[in-house]
Chain A
Amino acid sequence: MDNLPVFPNYIQLRSQSRIPVSVWHAIRIGSVISVFALIATLFIWPDVGLKIFWGMIIPILPALFLIAPGIWRNVCPVAAINQTPRLFSFSKEFKLPPVLVEYSYVIGFSLFFSIASSRKWLFNESGVATGILILAILLVAFGGGIVFKGKSGWCGSFCPMLPIERMYNQTPFLTVANSHCSVCVGCTKNCYDFNPKVGNLADLYDDDTYFSNYRRFFMGTFPGFILGFFLVPNPPEISILAMYVQLISFMLGSAGLFFVLDSFLKVSSFKITTVFGGMSIFLFYWFIVPLALTDFVASESIQLFVWGARAALLSLLIWWVQRSYFREKQFIGQIRPSSETRLSAGIASALKDATSDQDKVEITFNTPDPQRFMVDSGRSLLETAERNNIPVEPGCRMGVCGADPIVVLDGIENLSEMGDDERDTLERLGHGGNCRMACMARAKGAVNVSFDMALADDVVPTDGESVYDESVENVVIIGNGIAGVTAADYVRRNHPECKIDIIGRESHQHYNRMGISRLIYGQSAMKGLYLKEDDWFDGKNINFWLNTIVSQIDHDTKEITLATNETLGYDRLILATGSQSFVPPIDGFGLTGTYVLREADDAINIRAFAQTHQCKSAVVAGGGLLGLEAAYALHKLGMKVTVLERGKHLLTRQLDPKGGALLKNYLESLGLNILVGVECQSAEGNDRLERVALNDGKMLKSDILLVAAGIRPNLNLAEEIGLEIERGIVVSDTMQTSDPNIYAAGDVCQYDGKVYGLWAVAVEQAKTAAINAIGGDYQYVESAPSTTLKIVGVDLTSIGRFMGGEDGDREIAFEDESSNRYKKLVINEGVIVGAILLGYPLITPAVNQAIKSGRDISDMLEALENGEWDCLQS
């Protein structure tokens, strides 16, 4: 019996059967002849007939049901008669009427109780009555076979022996396949003949409680019936009526016990019915065994045999109960519905083929469990990590801020080449040769990386001869943003001895300002935003002042005064005071619930406010980079966000109208509400913000107003000492201000008429200022500013002079409206001078490189016009 399921059906069983169906047919012919011979015997020699029928055949049946019930199902003469019309195709094959389907089992066991109890006064003594009874049963079964289909006319429905078979046959020791039904016609519910091992379990676990309760009732009643059958005196000792009354009280007692147990025991009904079934068999043979043995065993040793047989039976039944319980467990395991979600056939292999490794590279993140991804060649490590929930805190995405260093354990040669910005950043961070910035490193082959910086190589000190002016002993830097910290770093690198003080107004260590929008929706607060280890400044011997305000500068005595009245002298001063948010005139700005987003504390306050007041809606005034990032952050926090843009389209400093429109589409599909060409006029509300009024008369209900209308340099200190100022502190190409001892860098300064407010620019300016301040010589070189929008899925990069429209400009642009993607190049005299890339992360580095290098691409114009931009990568 190999390869069969736990609960095989009759077809599966038959395939393994050694007895052909024809043999069963032959046996059945024999059994039908025998039953007619028996009937004849009952009429002619009643004593012999009764002895054979009640004394031999009937006592054997329970044991047969217990051990190999399938044999009886196949050889029973009544079944053979019942199935004859079906076999010879003269059955009408009607469906059993519903009322009979409902009550067939009840009719069956009622017949059984009536017939079996009547043995006590009628059938046991009367061969004629018994003969007529058998004949009547055969006739009814035959009639049932003619009228009703399958076995529903008798064997599967009204047969009085069926309830007993069901009870005893649930865990057969020997399973024999049904040989009657060549084709199942589905005539009976939970058909034993179809699936022998599961029929009784399926009955008791049936959803229809009436259906299962009929069975519970019978099985609960049966041991009482058997006990009564043997213990209640036979008429004429008592009257027939008294006999029935006593028998019924035995049955009700048994049923009562069953329902008490069923109500109170914390086990399934099946467990109790199984024990009751076992009890019934045991009681039956308890009384039968001594009677049967008297015929065969000498009277002096009979007790030994009787008790031996009873003990053997008990052991067998205990085993049987155990087997049944085990079967029940298997059954429950199988009726537990599968919770497996699968693809339809074919799709799985189609997907496998569609995701072939062609043009893919393998990136392994050790986080610390290795996770290996197959990604398009050219994807950055940062993008891959972000897309796959690997914890990473990106910053500028240009390799300058130092937020996402990564250690390359294997395959560093398979990463894109390192640019100068990235090299400088790694140097600043003090990470050695096996490190990269995740945002800049693009995989072209297999790499294995880790964010655990403990695995980083130590930096090999460069032997570069540092040139510095020994007379510079004190350097003071005001501002702890990226410009200030970068300046301090480069002062120390080039001047190992001077005293460096860096004074920060904020109370946080140097952090990733570009990541502050994540403070709004992320759960990890400042953790992950700090860009320097706590001991970095100590290690560099840099004196760091946090939460400290500079109140004035005296450039004659070269001394600064802190608001705490302490003073610090300087030989060189570097102003890196950065910028603050610009708030256009909005009536009511300052009301609780109105914010700007510039510093970490702004973001922390917004998150706290949103939680305290369970804010539902927000308005962001300003559709620039910061405004959109802030809007996305508020959206992620679950708010309904409206962005107001004063200009005709979003990101006027990064996009042309076409690009702006496509970006608007995309962000609107993400769920942001975007209004262009409108301004915020006033913030209204009583204790806190309730409404925002627009200049077109519209009124927006809102809990939060966040103004992101641009930045203004912090010029107070510079103004007080009379440095040359236009829009920012005017600096030369060494970053020197109008005072030779004072330098400036970052958002606060104005170079060549421009105030940028960009990290990459601030880093380069700070480096320039630092080197020059201590006597070195380094010129600031302006590069085409490149900006990215840090909203996942946007992949927007805008470089240089993207608008075009000047003399000799040639524009090549493609848009894909259905997926909101857009790419545009502005080319002048064979050189790319500007680009917009919306939704094309893979070609971004090549375009960036082409613009930075200023190389001639005249020979590629045709390919570019055809949309084949991959040529830029060569």
Chain B
Amino acid sequence: MAMSSFFDYPSDDDQAVGQDDLIFLPNWPESRWKKLLVYTTTIRFAPGDILIKSGDQNKSFFIITEGELEVVLPANRNQKNDRKITREAGSVIGEQAFIDGKPRSATVKASSAGSALKLSEVGFDEISAREPEIARELLMDIARLLSIKLRHANDHIYRITK
């Protein structure tokens, strides 16, 4: 629950994984990640490069391995300015469009030089055929993460609406 964190003891063990934490494939050993890497492409970016463009339609997600990117969410009716969120190495982005194939909701722009791993639909099809176990675990985990996000979103809506 998001609220309880206000009343939690600050922990030294920041990496402790809770059930509701959005950690991608928390139990995968390095060997499994390396198998996945065969089917990803490494993308390099320089400050200002656009990794994802709002409105684009392609099924792929990215794992940032180096550097920092800015997620720019389009302004809504009440907000004059775009909202910005920062994502840095270790962050996974774009997994929602990877599943539903809908147009990208935000533009992701590099704010520093860095690199990311991209898994496209084609790459995923190939893993499914060559390493079905990896593909199944990957898919189940993305589904789990999206489900947690949905729960969080529902809780949040419940809290802020009367």
Contact = CB atoms under 8 A, between A and B. Distances in A.
A528 B58 CA distance: 18
B33 A338 contact: no
B9 A184 contact: yes
Given A9-B6, A337-B152, A352-B65, A344 B162 contact: no
A342 B149 contact: no
B43 A373 contact: yes
Contact of A340 (B37, B91, B118, B160): B91
Given A339-B149, A355-B37, A387-B122, A372 B95 contact: no
Contacts of A389: 58, 60, 120-122
Given A337-B156, A342-B23, A792 B126 contact: yes
Contacts of A350: 30, 33
Contacts of A666: 129-130
A217 to B, nearest CB: 16
Interface in A814-847: 819-820
Given A262-B162, A388-B118, A670-B129, 12 more contacts: A9-B9, A207-B1, A207-B3, A332-B160, A348-B89, A354-B34, A355-B117, A369-B53, A387-B120, A387-B123, A669-B129, A793-B122
B111 to A, nearest CB: 15
Given A342-B24, A348-B65, A354-B33, A202 B126 contact: no
Contacts of A344: 15, 17, 23-26
A386 B41 contact: no
11 contacts: A207-B155, A334-B2, A337-B152, A341-B24, A343-B25, A344-B15, A355-B37, A355-B42, A387-B122, A389-B58, A670-B129
B122 A362 contact: no
Contacts of B25: 343-344
Interface string A1-45: 000000101011000000000000000000000000000000000
B152 to A, nearest CB: 3
Contacts of B1: 207
Contacts, number: 175
A339 B152 contact: yes
B72 interface: no
B120 A12 contact: no
B156 A351 contact: no
A338 B1 CA distance: 11
Contact of B49 (A194, A369, A669): A369
Contacts of A360: 42
A11 B9 CA distance: 9
B102 to A, nearest CB: 15
Contacts of A369: 49-50, 53
A704 interface: no
A500 interface: no
Interface string B20-61: 001111101010011001000111111001100100001010
Interface of A: 7, 9, 11-12, 184, 190-191, 194-195, 198, 202, 205-207, 262, 268-269, 332, 334-345, 347-352, 354-355, 360, 362, 369-375, 384, 386-389, 666-667, 669-670, 792-793, 819-820
A196 to B, nearest CB: 11
A348 B90 CA distance: 5
A359 to B, nearest CB: 12
B37 A354 contact: yes
Given A191-B7, A339-B22, A669-B132, A351 B33 contact: yes
Contact of A205 (B3, B58, B89, B115): B3
Contacts of B149: 337, 339
Report, nearest first, the 8 A-B pairs whose CB atoms are least far apart: A337-B152, A348-B90, A374-B42, A669-B129, A793-B126, A341-B92, A389-B58, A372-B44
A387 B40 CA distance: 9
A200 to B, nearest CB: 12
A190 B42 CA distance: 46
Contacts of A269: 162
Interface string B119-162: 01111011011111000000000000100010011011011101
Contacts of A202: 3, 6-7
Contacts of A9: 6-7, 9-10
Nearest to A360: B42
Contacts of B15: 344-345
A348 B65 CA distance: 6
Nearest to A345: B15
Given A11-B10, A195-B6, A669-B130, A343 B23 contact: yes
Contacts of A12: 10
A457 B42 CA distance: 30
Given A351-B65, A360-B42, A666-B130, A374 B115 contact: yes
A80 B131 CA distance: 66
Interface string B79-94: 0000001010111110
A206 B3 contact: yes
Contacts of B132: 669
A351 B45 CA distance: 17
Contacts of A184: 9
Contact of B160 (A207, A268, A347): A268
A388 B120 contact: yes
A341 B159 contact: no
A675 B43 CA distance: 40
Contact of A347 (B28, B95, B152): B28
Nearest to A184: B9
Contact of A343 (B90, B125, B129): B90
Contacts of B53: 369
Nearest to B37: A354
A374 B2 contact: no
Contacts of A343: 23-25, 63, 90-92
B2 A336 contact: yes
A793 B22 contact: no
Nearest to A373: B41
Contact of B162 (A11, A191, A268): A268
B89 A335 contact: no
Contacts of A670: 125, 128-129
A338 B42 contact: no
Contacts of B121: 389
Contacts of B63: 343, 348, 351
A147 B87 CA distance: 50
Contacts of B2: 334-337
B116 to A, nearest CB: 10
- Interface-central residue, B90, B95, B153, by most chain A CB under 10 Å: B90
- Interface-central residue, B15, B43, B44, B50, by most chain A CB under 10 Å: B44
B124 to A, nearest CB: 10
B87 to A, nearest CB: 7
A320 to B, nearest CB: 21
A17 to B, nearest CB: 16
B43 A820 contact: no
Nearest to B34: A354
Contacts of A352: 65-66, 89, 115
Nearest to B40: A355
A384 to B, nearest CB: 7
A263 to B, nearest CB: 9
A669 B17 CA distance: 34
B33 A347 contact: yes
Nearest to A11: B10
Contact of A373 (B7, B44, B85): B44
Nearest to A341: B92
A338 B58 CA distance: 24
A336 B156 CA distance: 6
- Interface-central residue, A373, A387, A819, by most chain B CB under 10 Å: A387
B122 A340 contact: no
Contacts of A206: 3
A288 B24 CA distance: 60
A194 B30 CA distance: 40
Contacts of A374: 41-44, 115
Contacts of A332: 160
Contacts of B60: 388-389
A205 B126 CA distance: 47
